[in-house]
Every structure is written in structure tokens, then in C-alpha cells.
């Protein structure tokens, strides 16, 4: 073995801690806009307004993570900032599933000596730390990190139950399945497939099925019936938007890029790990495969850094760690402990432990840069505008905002918002499929007489946006609305803030000046192209030409109002 080989796992763990601290330091400014949607639901629930996006409106199920919403509701009676609380809980969940994955690897490699088991466990921790989506989702404010913890916990409990089918292990499987389903709707698919696979290999099948039915099936069915009666539709609104409006298999590109990325970095080791795995890991493998196949169907809206697929990455790293232990056993088989060949094999194993996680660092650089640029756009446009709208003069009738990025601005402003993407608006999400031009949805938006309509354009000179927003822009002009300020959130996205001429809101917004960019992205290097979810994305193409009024609103004399261009249908997220 290597000299001082017992210190090598400690070295890997220290490297993981250093990388994680660096990532979190760089990404702390990043909070995704969708997180504020959950904060808004939690705020209204804490204020006894019910589970609704707009108080006073019919209930709308735009928040698909009821468990995360309930947890964040506690921030209001405790007077905690939900943004800070979500980040702290995300970090705790990330640390928890990292430790659980390492413990799982130790149990899967228990045939090895204790000192030899520490190396694959430390390798798992280092891979998770170097994998940029781990840190991104830990601080994003979304439920991704808690969902990952619940998925890993479910797989680990199923593993323990397959080995020792005691009553306590069976209860843990059922409770983990229930929490997994409450964290995300697709968690029910993983839970059902995983429990089904466990029932096939479990020795006490009847006990497992009774426990799963009593602690998971019955409570889950009660919740499903309640939400169906409360919201009035079978699935959450995002399901209809991501599946019904975009067609089938729109997520295949994201799934294939995710699988290819993992195969490229840990594929060989994962295959070696499958050679010596027990039947006890079949439930988590079946659950992960079910999730991968499911995500072939919906469009991955706001799927930055594989947000919907990243919870399955720990499973791949656990397989790779077991494969590393297999390779370690093969290379050291029959070799004397002090021999030169044994030393060379140990050096090779150490090289794999360092090179595989190091291969994640280059993609991490691009990911961190994109997320910090997103944070710059939020801090430069969305958050200042939201706080300025909150200070608008009060009136008897509640002010109405209409915008697609339905998180930060509605949350901080407190205005009623019409979600132009339909994630929180049943009239848009459940629109007639025979109306492909969304005419009825546009009429509905204008019938609400919004005080402010915020549309996303790729140009400050002429409106270049989604077909739906381009048509809505025409309707705004027809009723006497004009772009009051045009705000730049980054180099190729502009917020056209439409208000009716001569109204108090119009005069109020004309006096506003967009603040200079924050320090969160001041030192960001320029990039000429971007990669989103492993694929080149036009949303990240950054032109080298810079406007002379960068990060400030564009004057009305610079706008060619009649000119309208229809752009990319996917242009729907800041950054």
C-alpha cells in the first residue's frame, strides 16, 4: 500500500470540503426565481389565506412540492427570511445525503477490510462535492436538495429492509416513500416502483405490503383526494404546461445529456460496481430508472444544471465507488503488501480517485459562471423592480401585475399576478388545445386589466420574444399601454414594463432608475457561448457588442414600437 495510506481518505475528504466551500461561496448569491413561487405559497398559507398563489382567487396548484412549502411556512411565525432558511436547509440536506451515500458505500463494501472501505466512501464524497449541480441545488432555494436526500434515504432504507426485514426497517421504507411523494409528484412513481421491486426480493413480503399500504398508500390517497377536490384538477398546473403544451418526449435531450455526462465520467466504474452489487440495491436502481424514463416526457422548464435529474447522481456515484472497490480488489489480489507491483496498483487507484472528480471541475466553471450571471440579472432588474412596485402609491383596488417570471417580482411587490406561462394560472395552463395561438389566454390576461405587464424581449429596440408575448405586446399597444422603463437583466434579455399612459402607475414608474449591477457578477468574465444542461443554448449567447446604457433603462426615444419579432419559444427564464 501507499505510505500513510490511512491518511488518503482524509485527504480526499479535506479536498471535498475545500471544493464545496469554494462552490458555495461563489454560488451563495444564486436564488432561482421559481423558489419565490414556493415562498409566496408559504407566505399565504402562513397568513391563513389557504394554498393559493393569489389570495382571493380560486386555488391554483402551481407549487408542486407541498412538503417544502410546509417547511418554509415555518419561516413566517419564526420571523426568519425564507430565502436564507431555504439555503440553510438545502445545505443541511446536501450534507446529510452525502454522509448517507458514504455510509451506504461502506455497507456495500463490507467484505473489504475497514481501511480499504474508507477509500470508496471518501471517493463518493469527493465526486458529489466536485459535481457542480450539488452546490447549485443546495443554495438555489428549491426543493431539489431535500428531494435528493429523501430519494437516497428511501434507497438506503430499502437496502436495509432487503437485508434485515425488521418492523422498524419496513416502517422506514414506508415513511421515506410518503415523504418522497410529498416532496415532488414524481417521487410517487419512484416510491411505487421501488416498493414493488423490494416486494419481489423481500423475504417478508406481506409485512412490507401491509406497512406500505398503511403508512404510504392510505395517507397518500387521502392527500390526493383532498388536493383533487381543493384545486379541481387531477394534476398540478405545471404538468399541463410542460406536457400538454409542448408534446411528448420533449425532455429526451436533457435526459440523454445527463446520462452521457455521467457515463463519460464514471460509466466504467459504475459498470464494475454492478458486477458485485447485491440484490438489495435493486429497489433504488428500479426507482432511478423509472424517474429517468418519466423525465423523457415533460419539457424541463427551468431545468438548469439538470434540476430534475440531479437527485439520481448520488446513485451513479455510489455505483462508481463500489466499482472502485472492485478494481481495488482485483489489482491487489495475490500481490505482496510490500511489493513494487502493489505500490503501482495503489498509485493507480489513488490516481482514479483524484482524476475522476477533477474531471468535473471544468464543467463546473461554466455552470458557476452561468448561475452567477443569472444572479446578476435578478439583482439588477427583478428584485429592484419588485421592491419599487411594493412602494407604489396605495389604491382601493388591488394592483394587478402580469408577467411570466412569477417568482421574485410578485413575492416582493405583493401584487396580484397573472402568470403568463400558466404555471400558477389555471385559465392559461388548462387552455383549449384547439387554440394553438393562445387567443383565449391573451383575452383573459387583458380582461383582468393589469396595471403593469412585463414582457421579455431580446432587444431594447424592437420587441423580440415568444409568440405568445409578441401577440400580447400588440394587444397592450392597442389599449394604450407603452413600455415605461425597459430594464436590462443581462446582455441579451430585456424586461419591457408596459403601463397605460397617464395612469399613476405609469407616472410612478417613469421616475424610477435601475440601480447599477451588484458585485455578485461584477467580475464575471465574458463568454461568447453558453452551455445549458450540457447543450449549447441560445439563452446563453452573449454578444460582444455592449450597449452604452448597459444596466440602465432604455429611453423611449430609442424604441421602434411598431416593430415586432417573434423569437425562441424557450426564452422564459432570467439568465
Task: Decide if 192 is inside a domain.
Answer: yes
Q: Say how far apart CA 367 and CA 361 lie, in whole Å.
A: 10
Residue 526 has pLDDT above 90, yes or no: no
Residue by residue, DSSP assigns 171-183 as HHHHHHHHHHHHH
Same domain, 436 and 332: no
End-of-domain residue from the set 315, 330, 359: 359
Same domain, 530 and 550: yes
Same domain, 393 and 480: yes
pLDDT in tens, 68-105: 999 999 999 999 999 999 999 999 999 999 999 999 99
How much is the pLDDT for 343? Answer: 67
Least-confidence region, from 232-236, 359-363, 370-374:
232-236
Identify which of 25-29, 352-356, 397-401, 520-524 has the greatest average pLDDT.
Answer: 25-29
End-of-domain residue from the set 297, 329, 359: 359
Same domain, 343 and 437: no
Global pTM? 0.87
Q: Say how far apart CA 412 and CA 398 lie, in whole Å.
A: 15
Task: Decide if 440 is inside a domain.
Answer: yes
Same domain, 270 and 380: no
Q: Is the dihedral of CA 139, 140, 141, 142 positive or negative?
A: negative
Three cell numbers at 438?
393562445
Residue 145 has pLDDT above 90, yes or no: yes
User: What SS3 class is residue 141?
Assistant: coil
Total domains, the chain: 2
How much is the pLDDT for 427? Answer: 86
Residue 561 has pLDDT above 60, yes or no: no
End-of-domain residue from the set 359, 394, 429: 359
Model confidence at 5, in pLDDT bands (50, 70, 90)?
low
Q: Are 158 and 151 in contact (CB under 8 A)?
A: no
Give me the domain span that covers residue 372.
365-566
Task: Decide if 1 is inside a domain.
Answer: no
Same domain, 291 and 380: no
Same domain, 140 and 14: yes
Same domain, 210 and 297: yes
Residue 332 has pLDDT above 90, yes or no: no
Same domain, 492 and 539: yes
Same domain, 142 and 86: yes
Inter-helix orientation angle 439-447/467-478, to 10°: 40
Average pLDDT over residues 172-178: 96
How much is the pLDDT for 208? Answer: 92
User: What SS3 class is residue 12?
Assistant: helix
Closest-CA residue to 552 (of 484, 485, 458, 493): 485
Looking at per-residue pLDDT, the higher value among 246 and 429 belongs to: 429
Share of the chain above pLDDT 90, in %: 57
Q: Are 129 and 357 in contact (CB under 8 A)?
A: yes
Same domain, 174 and 286: yes
Average pLDDT over residues 266-283: 90
How much is the pLDDT for 450? Answer: 93
How much is the pLDDT for 433? Answer: 61
Same domain, 247 and 266: yes
pLDDT in tens, 374-406: 999 899 899 999 999 998 887 767 899 999 999
Model confidence at 283, in pLDDT bands (50, 70, 90)?
very high
Amino acid at each position: 500500500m501507499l505510505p500513510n495510506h490511512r491518511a488518503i481518505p482524509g485527504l480526499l475528504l479535506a479536498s471535498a470540503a475545500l471544493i464545496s466551500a469554494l462552490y458555495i461561496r461563489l454560488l451563495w448569491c444564486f436564488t432561482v426565481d421559481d423558489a419565490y413561487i414556493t415562498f409566496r405559497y408559504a407566505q399565504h398559507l402562513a397568513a391563513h389565506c389557504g394554498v393559493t398563489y393569489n389570495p382571493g382567487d380560486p386555488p391554483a396548484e402551481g407549487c408542486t412540492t407541498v412538503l417544502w412549502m410546509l417547511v418554509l411556512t415555518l419561516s413566517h411565525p419564526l420571523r426568519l427570511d425564507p430565502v436564507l432558511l431555504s439555503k440553510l436547509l438545502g445545505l443541511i440536506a446536501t450534507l446529510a445525503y452525502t454522509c448517507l451515500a458514504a455510509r451506504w458505500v461502506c455497507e456495500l463494501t463490507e467484505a473489504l477490510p475497514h481501511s480499504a472501505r474508507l477509500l470508496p466512501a471518501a471517493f463518493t464524497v469527493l465526486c458529489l462535492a466536485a459535481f457542480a449541480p450539488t452546490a447549485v441545488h443546495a443554495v438555489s432555494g428549491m426543493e431539489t436538495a431535500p428531494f435528493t436526500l429523501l430519494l437516497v434515504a428511501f434507497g438506503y432504507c430499502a437496502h436495509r429492509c432487503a437485508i434485515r426485514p425488521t418492523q422498524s426497517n419496513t416502517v422506514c421504507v414506508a415513511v421515506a416513500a410518503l415523504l418522497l411523494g410529498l416532496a415532488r409528484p414524481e417521487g410517487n412513481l419512484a416510491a411505487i416502483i421501488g416498493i414493488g421491486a423490494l416486494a419481489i426480493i423481500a423475504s417478508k413480503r406481506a409485512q412490507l405490503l401491509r406497512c406500505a399500504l398503511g403508512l404510504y398508500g392510505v395517507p397518500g390517497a387521502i392527500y390526493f383526494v383532498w388536493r383533487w377536490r381543493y384545486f379541481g384538477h387531477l394534476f398540478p398546473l405545471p404538468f399541463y404546461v410542460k406536457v400538454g403544451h409542448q408534446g411528448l418526449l420533449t425532455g429526451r435531450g436533457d435526459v440523454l445529456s445527463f446520462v452521457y455526462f455521467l457515463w463519460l465520467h464514471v460509466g466504467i466504474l459504475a459498470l464494475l460496481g454492478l458486477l458485485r452489487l447485491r440484490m438489495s440495491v435493486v429497489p433504488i436502481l428500479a426507482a432511478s430508472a423509472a424517474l429517468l424514463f418519466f423525465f423523457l416526457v415533460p419539457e424541463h422548464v427551468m431545468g438548469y444544471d439538470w434540476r430534475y435529474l440531479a437527485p439520481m447522481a448520488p446513485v451513479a456515484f455510489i455505483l462508481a465507488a463500489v466499482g472502485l472497490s472492485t478494481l481495488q480488489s482485483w489489482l491487489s489480489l495475490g500481490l505482496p503488501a510490500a511489493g513494487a507491483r502493489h505500490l503501482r496498483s495503489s498509485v493507480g487507484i489513488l490516481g482514479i480517485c483524484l482524476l475522476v472528480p477533477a474531471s468535473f471541475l471544468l464543467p463546473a466553471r461554466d455552470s458557476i459562471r452561468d448561475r452567477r450571471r443569472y444572479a446578476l440579472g435578478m439583482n439588477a432588474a427583478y428584485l429592484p423592480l419588485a421592491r419599487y412596485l411594493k412602494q407604489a402609491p396605495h389604491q382601493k383596488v388591488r394592483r394587478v401585475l402580469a408577467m411570466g417570471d412569477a417568482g421574485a417580482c410578485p413575492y416582493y411587490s405583493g401584487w396580484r399576478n397573472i402568470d403568463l406561462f400558466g404555471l400558477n394560472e389555471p385559465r392559461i395552463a388548462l387552455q383549449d388545445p384547439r387554440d394553438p395561438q393562445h387567443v383565449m389566454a391573451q383575452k383573459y390576461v387583458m380582461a383582468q386589466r393589469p396595471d403593469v405587464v412585463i414582457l421579455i424581449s431580446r432587444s431594447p429596440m424592437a420587441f423580440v420574444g415568444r409568440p405568445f408575448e409578441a401577440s400580447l405586446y400588440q394587444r397592450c399597444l392597442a389599449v394604450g399601454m407603452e413600455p415605461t422603463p425597459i430594464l436590462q437583466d443581462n446582455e441579451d434579455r430585456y424586461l419591457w414594463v408596459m403601463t397605460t399612459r397617464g395612469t399613476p402607475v405609469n407616472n410612478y414608474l417613469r421616475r424610477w432608475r435601475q440601480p447599477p449591477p451588484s458585485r455578485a457578477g461584477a467580475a464575471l468574465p465574458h463568454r461568447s457561448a453558453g452551455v445549458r444542461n450540457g447543450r449549447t443554448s441560445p439563452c446563453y449567447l452573449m454578444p460582444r457588442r455592449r450597449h452604452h446604457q448597459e444596466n440602465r433603462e432604455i429611453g423611449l426615444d430609442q424604441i421602434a414600437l411598431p416593430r415586432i419579432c417573434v423569437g425562441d419559444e424557450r426564452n422564459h427564464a432570467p439568465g
